[in-house]
Amino acid sequence: MLENCILLSLFAKENLNRMSEQQLNLYDRLINEPSNDWDIYYWATEAKPTPAEFENDVMAMLREFAKNKKREQRLRQPDLEYLFEPPR
């Protein structure tokens, strides 16, 4: 679903290179285990409570990112060139 693609890809661009191995494993689990993509969106936007098995620091980071406190325009997925850039 488009909303999750935008949210998760922009979150990944901003955070993946700073995550520990444990956080990367939690993120991988988050994006691959729930059977309903809407669930991830609802948890990230706090429309529904996050189940205990997905309540962790990565989900907290995603919820904070979803608040978009800087009011950035997030209208499309980022280009993938960032995957080949050295970490900041």
Q: Do 1 and 41 contact (CB within 8 A), yes or no? A: yes
The span from the CA of 39 to the CA of 71, in Å, is: 23
Average pLDDT across the chain, whole number: 87
Cut 0.85: pTM above it: no
**Domain residues of the chain, as ranges?**
1-81
List, for residues 3-22, the tens digit of each pLDDT value: 888 899 999 999 999 999 99
pLDDT digits (tens, 9 = 90+) for 44-56: 999 999 999 999 9
Three-state DSSP state, 64 = helix
CA angle, 33 as apex, 30 and 38 as ends, to 5°? 75
